[in-house]
Structure 1
Amino acid sequence: MARSELPEVPGMKVLEQSRISPAPGPNAPETLPLTFFDYVFLPFHPVQRVFFYDLPYSLSDFLRSHLPRLKLSLSLALRDFRPLAGRLRLGSPEGKPEIRCSGGDAVAFTVAESGDDFHDMSGNHARDCARFYPLVPPLPPGTEGGQPVLALQFTLFPDAGVALGVTVSHAVADGSTSAHFLKTWAGICRLGMGGMGGMGPCHVAAPPSYDRSVVWDPKGLERTFLHDLKLLQVERRLVPLDLHGKNDVVRATFALSREQLKKMGERFSSRTGMEECSPYTLAAGLIWASLVKARGGSGDKTEYFGFVTGCRARLDPPLPATYFGNCLGICWVEAEGSDLEEEDGVHIASAAIWKVIRDLEGSGAFRGAKNWIRDIHSLASEGILTVAGSPKLGLYQVDFGWGRPRKIEVISIERTSAMSMAEWGEYGSGLEISLALPRELMRGFRSSVLKLISSL
């Protein structure tokens, strides 16, 4: 969505649009080829997040005291994460997608002011999705040199808070890579407080690893995925699930404490006779079954749930945790809709998800990998519910010196009708789950979920 197409928001003003270049430093590779892990996400829209921070400053104070530090620390972070300032080229001389880095690389950086209600927008209740669109910048238009992969925006809500909007190409970075970059940037900003002159080299985290030779492809997935992408036409995107821009779509968040998750686990074990499963599984099962019930009329229809699993540690040999790019496996679960609508539907959903997660041990993460791209498009037409994000990313640790974020919203979940999941609570002991749904569906879903949560 172009800047001129953004919805009207009271008091929304774009104050500055600039480009931040990586600071001089170690040379990054001129080209960084994508791997078959990256190819999986070429059909997806960029991932968009908004981080809300309490910051009761005036506009002049923010521009004077905070903005210069944010820009300088961003430039220093991009020195290590230079490909994020580069461009994605789908047609390299070898006919394979790659990231091209050059001396003129820079990241689009927008500063804006909003007259909207900061505390209302950063709440958990149902809010119109359209209110969030102005907070996330679009990626700049592509050129013959390729498509930019990252755009950033700070929006100040005077005397209340600030929102950081991040838009990043999923084909270039998975959640782990995005979190690595954001924590590095925030850490440089937070720790480099000795005046602007003191913000020199400041490695708050290990730099990213760009070694593509560590990704083995014994099954020939690169060739298979390139073939499938041509057949499926990337330009089609995942249209069947796209709620973006549709009228009366709202987003809401549901929190589960450690104590509630513990009680859910005890109930799960007593009802199913299975060992206690992970909090992630319990929360996912709760949302999946509740959404099927809220939609109603599933009947004999098979319902699907999809998620990704980290593969850095699953490869042989394992990839470094700092590996730059995507390294995710695609997993999906199926269950009969009529079963999920039963009284024990939540436990049935959780049991089905837990079985797939347990099967991932060993090489299970790559079972059926040749069909990943075809499965994504096929299951999209079936209305699959998927998960964006993970509590393991630790995104609430992204602290620029203002403390932990008050709230994080994954704006792009409405592009794929996904749910987002992150850690919740001061010590990350609980979980928070967000969804974007048509308003009427959200009413029924919210009522069902809150009733189940209150019973804990």
Structure 2
Amino acid sequence: MNYPTVRQISECFIKPQYASQDSKLPYYLTPWDLAMLSAQYIQKGLLFAKPPEAKHDEDFMADLLEGLKESLSLALVHFYPLAGRLATVKSENPASYWVFVDCDNSPGAKLIYAALDMTINDILSPVDVPLVVQSFFDHHKAVNHDGHTLSLLSIQVTELLDGVFIGCSMNHAIGDGTSYWNFFNMWSEIFQKKRGDSVNAISRPPVLERWFPPGHGPIINLPFTHHDQFICRFESPKLRERMFHFTSESMAKLKAKANAECNTTKISSFQALSAFVWRAITRVRGLPPDQTTSCRLATNCRPRLNPPLSQEYFGNSIGLTKGIATAGELLEHDLGWAAWQVHEAVVSFTHKTVESWLDSWLESPEIYQLEKTFDPFSVMMGSSPRFNKYGNEFGMGKALALRSGYAHKFSGKVTSYPGPEGGGSIDLEVCLPPDTMSALESDKDFMEAASTTTYLSSQLDTILLNE
């Protein structure tokens, strides 16, 4: 399908409103951060309906952009690493490559204003997420190491005919999903507070003090002399990307079913959902019974460390845990069995797990490569429905939907969002090859639990009636 082209109207760079003394010092990267140098930027965004008064206000977009710039400048006082650039000190004998963030010598974060002659309905009503959504984000296909020359944070504000999409691309070597949404939440909070009064008063200031394993840091030298030795640019295969909605009732049923089949109460709603998706995708892939498959979950290390890290710790603090089975085992057993494999993987991810990974990494530093990290027989559950994603309003009320960019898309990638209506509902963004997606859409068990987003449909009907 041919879509209109997103037109870039303007761009500028935003610096913190004032520079703290700490922001003039190198911002060190930890093993978790450095491991991300070949991964892609985090790209998530929110779609808003223009408020009714925007129809009669010629200055609506100009005022919105001015407010976004002002509040971003204040937010960057707290999150100053996002206004920096990566820098490297290297030597050849011995091989040494030290990457850090230079927060002082940088033009700042980028803010783009763009426009697209499409409506909210054009974006949300198709069965598949339209490819044009990828154009709502800057730094398309960039890897985190590109942050030497690209901004570490880029905000793109795309004006639709009846809506506004705010897309944020953040360098994944600077922070993970927890850090990303804390920034987004605090930026919105500053905007909502009418900005000027809030520079010294945000509810969840980031903890910027770096955490390193005992006896290591703050300088960690990688055993390389050139970035070509560890950078690999991942290209997504041909995929269909579709949103599936799980109501709070559907989630409760999956949780109850999984626990009943295991005679336990320990399996969480999300563990049950992850297992349900794992079994469904494995089923429609038609894998040989002896093919090993896994359900992988990005896991927050902060509460698992001893002592724990603050949830406001800014940076990366994530690991990967997984339930493993052969395709035959997974499909011969019931949902409860699969959910228990996921549950056990989560429960066994402890301080010792994190410590072991860090010790191994420090002994032999490894930069994640997407094509090596993920395999075509597994499912990867990314992001989290626990993040406060719909709490970001920017003066336009609650967002209608969440969408993501090109980054980190491969067969079996499943990104989880809270459902727009709350109450424990969840939206899943599922990426699969076209034939596999068609098979999933024909899978009765899966489609009976998943639904089209009836909540969104009602919101769209209201928007269209107001036009």
The aligned residue for residue 165 of structure 2 is 163
- Which residue, out of 25, 31, 44, partners 2:26? 31
Q: Is the 2:28–2:219 contact (alpha carbons within 8 Å) kept by the matching residues of 1?
A: no
The aligned residue for residue 192 of structure 1 is 194
Aligned mates of 2:35, 2:246 — CA distance in 1: 31
- Which residue, out of 101, 115, 118, partners 1:116? 118
Deviation sequence 1:68-88 (CA, Å, 0-9, x none): 111111111111111101112
Q: Where does 1:4-23 land on structure 2 (aligned, <5 Å)?
A: 9-10=3-4, 12-23=6-17
Aligned mates of 1:293, 1:229 — CA distance in 2: 45
Q: Is the 1:124–1:254 contact (alpha carbons within 8 Å) kept by the matching residues of 2?
A: no
Q: Where does structure 1 lack aligned partners over 5 or more consecutive residues? A: 1-6
Q: Where does structure 2 lack aligned partners over 5 or more consecutive residues? A: 452-467
Deviation sequence 1:383-418 (CA, Å, 0-9, x none): 432122112221121221222221111224653442
1:54 counterpart letter in structure 2: A
Aligned mates of 2:37, 2:16 — CA distance in 1: 25
Deviation sequence 1:161-215 (CA, Å, 0-9, x none): 110111111111111111111111111111117xxxx456352223222212x43
The aligned residue for residue 289 of structure 2 is 299
Aligned mates of 2:331, 2:58 — CA distance in 1: 54
Identical positions, percent:
21
Aligned residues: 433
Shift of 1:29: 4.3
The aligned residue for residue 71 of structure 1 is 69
SS of the equivalent of 1:182 reads helix
- Which residue, out of 140, 149, 152, partners 2:152? 149
Q: Where does 1:16-415 land on structure 2 (aligned, <5 Å)?
A: 16-27=10-21, 28-56=23-51, 57-58=54-55, 60-91=58-89, 95-123=97-125, 125-128=127-130, 130-138=131-139, 146-158=149-161, 160-192=162-194, 198=196, 201=199, 203-212=201-210, 214-217=211-214, 226-227=222-223, 233-238=229-234, 242-243=236-237, 246=238, 249-342=239-332, 344=334, 346-361=335-350, 363-368=352-357, 370=360, 373=366, 378-381=372-375, 383-412=377-406, 415=409
Shift of 1:133: 1.8
Aligned mates of 1:279, 1:233 — CA distance in 2: 42
Q: Is the 1:33–1:96 contact (alpha carbons within 8 Å) kept by the matching residues of 2?
A: no
Worse-matched range after superposition: 411-420 or 97-106: 411-420
Q: Is the 1:308–1:328 contact (alpha carbons within 8 Å) kept by the matching residues of 2?
A: yes
- Residues 31, 9 of structure 1: alpha-carbon distance in 2 compared, 3 angstrom cutoff: farther
Q: Is the 1:413–1:436 contact (alpha carbons within 8 Å) kept by the matching residues of 2?
A: no
Worse-matched range after superposition: 420-429 or 41-50: 420-429
Aligned mates of 1:90, 1:33 — CA distance in 2: 11
Aligned mates of 1:343, 1:9 — CA distance in 2: 45
Worse-matched range after superposition: 364-373 or 49-58: 364-373
Q: Is the 1:421–1:434 contact (alpha carbons within 8 Å) kept by the matching residues of 2?
A: yes
Q: Is the 2:12–2:110 contact (alpha carbons within 8 Å) kept by the matching residues of 1?
A: yes
Aligned mates of 2:324, 2:62 — CA distance in 1: 54
Aligned mates of 1:92, 1:62 — CA distance in 2: 48
Aligned mates of 1:331, 1:200 — CA distance in 2: 39
Aligned mates of 1:55, 1:85 — CA distance in 2: 29
- Residues 219, 301 of structure 1: alpha-carbon distance in 2 compared, 3 angstrom cutoff: farther
Aligned mates of 2:6, 2:234 — CA distance in 1: 30
2:25 counterpart letter in structure 1: E
2:273 counterpart letter in structure 1: A
2:232 counterpart letter in structure 1: R
Aligned mates of 1:341, 1:166 — CA distance in 2: 39
2:60 counterpart letter in structure 1: F
Q: Is the 2:419–2:425 contact (alpha carbons within 8 Å) kept by the matching residues of 1?
A: yes
Aligned mates of 1:270, 1:124 — CA distance in 2: 37
2:39 counterpart letter in structure 1: F
Shift of 1:257: 2.2
SS of the equivalent of 2:231 reads helix
Aligned mates of 1:190, 1:296 — CA distance in 2: 50
- Residues 395, 91 of structure 1: alpha-carbon distance in 2 compared, 3 angstrom cutoff: farther
Shift of 1:355: 0.9
1:363 counterpart letter in structure 2: K
1:45 counterpart letter in structure 2: Q
Shift of 1:419: 0.9
Deviation sequence 1:6-61 (CA, Å, 0-9, x none): x9731632111221222114231421111011122222111111211121435943
1:36 counterpart letter in structure 2: P
SS of the equivalent of 1:341 reads helix
SS of the equivalent of 1:340 reads helix
Q: TM-score scaled by structure 1?
A: 0.84
The aligned residue for residue 465 of structure 2 is none
Q: Is the 2:83–2:106 contact (alpha carbons within 8 Å) kept by the matching residues of 1?
A: no
Q: Is the 1:122–1:406 contact (alpha carbons within 8 Å) kept by the matching residues of 2?
A: no
Q: Is the 1:89–1:147 contact (alpha carbons within 8 Å) kept by the matching residues of 2?
A: no
Shift of 1:237: 4.3
Shift of 1:121: 1.6
Q: Is the 1:109–1:152 contact (alpha carbons within 8 Å) kept by the matching residues of 2?
A: yes
Aligned mates of 2:324, 2:87 — CA distance in 1: 36
